[in-house]
Structure 1
Amino acid sequence: MAQVSSVLGIWNTNPSRHTPIEDVQGLLAGSMISALGLYLLAKVGLLTGGMAGLAFVLHYWSGMSFGLLFFLLNLPFYLLSLRRVGVDFTLKTFVAVGLTSFLVEIESRFLVIETVAPIWAAVLGGLLLGFGLLALYRHRASLGGLGILAVYLQDRFGIRAGLVQLAFDLVVMALAFAVVSPMIVLYSVVGAVVLNLFLTINHRSDRYIALR
């Protein structure tokens, strides 16, 4: 009974490691919350930073499925992730991205939002994405490969990772002007700021030491 409880994460006495079932619930919860945030942004035509932002731009421009675009855009980064971070992180990230992409596509079958103010969607969407990413980070997963690429470029060429991510987000927002109105871009920036402030305040490795 004690062994079963340990595997399932019940009464886990080792705070530095997650059990398999803890990882499963973390990936599931993080993906569900992130998908809800993305769905809320999409409902009013907003976007965000990172690969999700680029997927939004392509979605609004081409009409293709956001979930499919988000999944496909992340595929090239998994090889880099395997080399830089390892199998465990890569597999968890692949699962999280795939699950989030799928959930965004089916969200409307279970939740119908009639109307929401864009600024409120931006704030709530940013917070939901922040909560979702925080859950994934704490179980050694993420929602995309841009961060891995940024770290790789920093190690390989000495370019600061933060600057790489900032430059990419600026390019995404610039491209957004071609497919959405300036006010939508402004609201999207608000949502991205909320997301990044939330993660900056709440995600610190020295406060959370889980290894697995």
Structure 2
Amino acid sequence: MAAAADPTVAAVGPRVKALREAMDLSLRDLAERSGVSAPMLSQVERGETSPTLQVASRIASGLELRLSQLLRLDEEGTVSIVRAGEGRRGGTAGHAYELLTPPLPGLRAEVTRHTLAPGAVTGGPGDPPRHEPGARETALIERGTVTLHVEDIEHELTAGDSVTFDADLSHHFANLGEEEAVLLAIVSAGLRRS
């Protein structure tokens, strides 16, 4: 009788596929990066076979993760909650932000809430981009009016507006109004441009 597969390793297929697609990699690309054949990767992703720990480790390496990250051994469960007011905080004069996503390994996106006092900015003209190449940012203006500067172009945004842009370009938000402005920003890291 065959030994039962480790359920942690057996359930890795859908995660491998999601991570591969998030990195915009084909099966062939991941095969080249990991040294695991494309047919084997396909079988793993479809749940037709469970990878050995050695194969899972090579797949993790191809996805630029540690094996523990791929198998989610670093996490306490499948649901992580950040309670209101418990996010990690930071900021500068007139600009406060709270990171609303948990510090999970391999997380490919982060959500932050930014509060800008009148006259405050999230950065400045000529500041280098803070996000890795290929990152995209979507912002939703919750309250007030802000001006988004991307490279040398300005975009005025008011409450309820949303915008998506290439976050690896020089950019910042400015509150030129007389009232506090609040925006949510979602940054998807390292997704390649099409």
Shared fold (TM-score, shorter chain, > 0.5): no
Pick the structure with more helix per residue: 1
Larger Rg: 2
Sort the TM-score into its range (normalised by shorter chain).
under 0.3
